[in-house]
Structure 1
Amino acid sequence: MTRTADFPAPTRVALGDARLEVFEAGRENRGNPIVLCHGWPEHAYSWRHQMPALAAAGYHVIVPNQRGYGNSSRPSQVEAYDIARLTGDLAALLDHFGYRDAVFVGHDWGANVVWSMALLHPARVRRIINLALPYQPRTPIPWVEFLEGVFGPDNHLVHFNRQPGVADAVLDANAGRFLRNLLRRNQPSAPPEPGMMMINLATAEAPSGDPLMSDEDLAVFIAAFEASGFAASINWYRNLDRNWRILADVDPVVRQPALMIHGTRDMIPPSETLSEFVPNAEVLSLDCGHWIQQEKPDETTEAMLGWLAVRQAA
Structure 2
Amino acid sequence: MPLNSDFPAPQKIKLNGITLEVFEAGSHNRGNPIVLCHGWPELAYSWRAQIPALVAAGYHVLAPNQRGFGASSRPADVTDYDITRLTGDLAALLEHFGYEAATFVGHDWGANVVWSMALLHPERVVRLINLALPYQTRTPTPWIEFIEALFGADHYFVHFNRQFGVADAILDQNADQFLRNLFRKNLTMVPPEPGMMMINLARAETPLGDPLISAEDLEVFVSAFKASGFRPGINWYRNMDRNWHILAEIDPVIRHPALMIYGLQDPIPPSENLSEFVPNVAIRSLDCGHWIQQERPEETTQVMLEWLKAQDHAG
Q: Give your verdict on TM over 0.5.
A: yes
In the alignment, structure 2 segments of 5+ residues that lack a partner are: none
1:115 is aligned with what amino acid? W
**Other-structure match for 1:281:** 281
- Distance in 2 (alpha carbons) for counterparts of 1:249 and 1:34: 28
User: Aligned in 2, Cα 1:14/1:149: closer, same or farther, shift over 3 Å?
Assistant: same
- Distance in 2 (alpha carbons) for counterparts of 1:16 and 1:186: 39
Alignment partner of 1:69: what SS? Answer: coil
**Other-structure match for 2:227:** 227
Alignment partner of 2:118: what SS? Answer: helix
TM-score normalized with structure 2 length: 0.98
Worse overlay, 71-80 or 187-196:
187-196
**Other-structure match for 1:89:** 89
Alignment partner of 1:235: what SS? Answer: helix
**Other-structure match for 1:112:** 112
Alignment partner of 1:236: what SS? Answer: helix
Figure out how many residues of one structure are paired with residues of the other and give that number. 314
Q: CA deviation at 1:186?
A: 2.7
Q: How does 1:270-309 map to 2 (within 5 A)?
A: 270-309=270-309
Q: CA deviation at 1:138?
A: 1.1
User: Aligned in 2, Cα 1:15/1:194: closer, same or farther, shift over 3 Å?
Assistant: closer
Q: CA deviation at 1:273?
A: 1.2
1:149 is aligned with what amino acid? A
User: Aligned in 2, Cα 1:195/1:119: closer, same or farther, shift over 3 Å?
Assistant: closer
**Other-structure match for 1:127:** 127
TM-score normalized with structure 1 length: 0.98
Q: CA deviation at 1:16?
A: 2.4
User: Aligned in 2, Cα 1:193/1:272: closer, same or farther, shift over 3 Å?
Assistant: closer
- Distance in 2 (alpha carbons) for counterparts of 1:165 and 1:190: 22
Identity %: 71
**Other-structure match for 2:146:** 146
**Other-structure match for 1:217:** 217
Q: CA deviation at 1:193?
A: 3.7
**Other-structure match for 1:19:** 19
Q: CA deviation at 1:84?
A: 0.2
**Other-structure match for 2:9:** 9
Q: CA deviation at 1:8?
A: 1.1
Q: CA deviation at 1:46?
A: 0.2
Q: CA deviation at 1:195?
A: 5.6
User: Aligned in 2, Cα 1:259/1:190: closer, same or farther, shift over 3 Å?
Assistant: farther
Q: How does 1:34-53 map to 2 (within 5 A)?
A: 34-53=34-53
Q: CA deviation at 1:239?
A: 0.1
The CA deviation string for residues 46-85 of structure 1, in whole angstroms up to 9 with x for no partner, is: 0000000000000000000000000000000000000000
2:137 is aligned with what amino acid? P
Q: In 2, are the aligned partners of 1:25 and 1:51 still within 8 Å (CA)?
A: yes
Structure 1 residue 62 corresponds to structure 2 residue 93: no
2:257 is aligned with what amino acid? P
2:198 is aligned with what amino acid? M
- Distance in 1 (alpha carbons) for counterparts of 2:144 and 2:189: 26
Q: CA deviation at 1:184?
A: 0.7
**Other-structure match for 1:259:** 259
**Other-structure match for 1:156:** 156
Q: CA deviation at 1:3?
A: 2.6
- Distance in 2 (alpha carbons) for counterparts of 1:134 and 1:127: 15
Q: In 2, are the aligned partners of 1:127 and 1:258 still within 8 Å (CA)?
A: yes
User: Aligned in 2, Cα 1:194/1:309: closer, same or farther, shift over 3 Å?
Assistant: closer
**Other-structure match for 1:103:** 103
User: Aligned in 2, Cα 1:190/1:263: closer, same or farther, shift over 3 Å?
Assistant: farther
